[in-house]
Structure 1
Amino acid sequence: MSNNPFANLPEVASFQVTSNDIADGLPLPPPHYSGMSGVEGGRDLSPHLRWSGAPEGTKSFAVTVYDPDAPTGSGLWHWAVINIPAYVAELPTGAGDEHGGGLPQGALQLPNDLRLERFIGAAPPAGHGPHRYYFVVHALDVETIGVDPKATPAVLGFTMLSHTLGRAVLTAIGEIK
């Protein structure tokens, strides 16, 4: 599990992200697995996220969820939210539903790798071993990131490259035995 998704990116300031639902380095609870993908007990429920200590000059945030261990050759993007205003420092549990009802005004969900504009929970293949799920809050130097609302999270990542001031990372573990 040495593939670090940030290894080849420029270093940026770090800040804190916590959650009432998930914890860094610990297993994901069942509601954050994917019922849409057939995982028993999965509800495709995006977890609560709260962040603090963003770098000075932050004008907006983006949130991404990525599994670099998915057996695709390129990992799997589970969620991408853009244009979160700088005054926002928390997303409630379930903000990533198909309506984005828990997102602040102006924020948009990009299609994930399943092409759904919502959070999709963990669904690692049975017996594939543990997968890391990177829940990342990106502090940006622009109010809107300027990507097409139908863009992929990979395009978002490329576009954010020159606008990222800081990154807060919480990594949870998912596994189906």
Structure 2
Amino acid sequence: MIWKKFSGETVKTPILEEVERAIVRETHNGYKLKVCIGTDSQVKGKIIDFATVIVLVREHHGGFMYINQDKSHLHMSIKERMLMEVQKSIETAYSVCDLLDLYDVALEVHADINTNPSFKSNKALNDAMGYILSMGFIFKAKPEAFASSTCADKMVH
């Protein structure tokens, strides 16, 4: 997996090392951190662009993120695509959760799924919520899911 900073710079070390270095640096500078992970996707013709983000939020002082982008050529329904986004977020959360526990950093998994039933993405809400909560992660959906609906969204549009 290739991770990048928001600037476009490629992260040269494994993402776990990069996140750990960031946690040590930011806590040393006096910030309380929270990590939010989310994925968004965009259908572009026969290709689906996915962007997964790891957002490190400094309490009351902004934040920064790491981005992984990939593409799929599979045809999928909106519900399948929403659940694929959730799966990518969970895989990422699972890969960093032990590190975050070690440093006592809170973790949230954000799903780009609307809680309003009039939106198409709502079809996946119960499945996504069950999937994320059953893995032991804190779940956020729109409008609170800024990691997926704002941060990752910028990378696929």
Q: Confirm or deny a common fold (TM above 0.5).
A: no
Name the TM-score, length of structure 2 as normaliser: 0.29
Name the TM-score, length of structure 1 as normaliser: 0.26
Q: Answer 1 or 2: which has greater helix percent.
A: 2
